[in-house]
Amino acid sequence: MALEAALRGAAESGCETDLIDLREFQLPFAAAAAGEEPADAVRLRERIGAADGIVLGTPEYHGSFSGVLKNALDLTGFSEWEGKMLGLVGVSGGRMGAHEALNSLRVVGRALHAWVIPEQVSIPEAWKRFDDQGLLQDGELAARLLAVGREVARFARLHKCAAAHDFLMNWEKAPENPGA
């Protein structure tokens, strides 16, 4: 529910969003998948690879992000993540929030050469924060989630425009092709 709120922020910024729910994938354990190309692992990599920006959402379990997410990340690599804008959202059942999970995901994002935006949202006692329709009851948290989605969208757009600008500048500086 928290991730869906962040995606609404990206959509409000004019982005096309795609919620990747890992429950919809039959992913092999990464260590056992060496050499294999299971269809769902390929599908996951394709969907991540197609994105300009990504918001990762996770519950915090025992001071870290979920094992399911870790496995999914381990099935991907630089080609899916490098240069992507990455936002982080975490929830927890306890009062401490999901800060450790988000710190760990920040490290993983950097290791995969993604650009992790500074803004992130940790929601403590998440079970108390959402109503029966899945909407946040805390206006400040809701605004922060929207802001994460907007920031990922904004920086992804800027990054993509900068890459296009660099290409055009290099194109204009390139020597004329004498033929062939």
**From CA 48, how far away is CA 75, in angstroms rounded?**
11
Task: Give the tens place of pLDDT for each residue, 81-95.
Answer: 999 999 999 999 999
Residue 33 is predicted with a pLDDT of 60
Residue 45 is predicted with a pLDDT of 94
Q: Under a CB-based contact definition with an 8 Å cutoff, are residues 57 and 2 in contact?
A: yes
Please report, in angstroms and rounded to a whole number, the separation of the first and last CA atoms in the chain: 57
- If you compute the radius of gyration of the chain from its CA atoms, what whole number of angstroms results? 18
The whole model's pTM is what? 0.85
Report which DSSP code applies to 31.
G
- Lowest mean pLDDT of 6-10, 51-55, 87-91, 153-157, name the range: 153-157
Task: Give the tens place of pLDDT for each residue, 33-68.
Answer: 667 688 999 999 999 999 999 999 999 999 999 999
Q: How confident is the model at residue 165 (pLDDT cuts 50, 70, 90)?
A: low
Structure tokens at 124: 């403590």
Mean pLDDT of the chain: 89
CA diameter of the chain: 69
Q: How confident is the model at residue 134 (pLDDT cuts 50, 70, 90)?
A: confident
Q: Is 115 exposed, middle or buried (0-12, 13-18, 19+ CB in 10 A)?
A: middle
Report which DSSP code applies to 134.
S
Q: Which domains can be identified in the chain, with CATH numbers?
A: 2-173 (3.40.50.360)
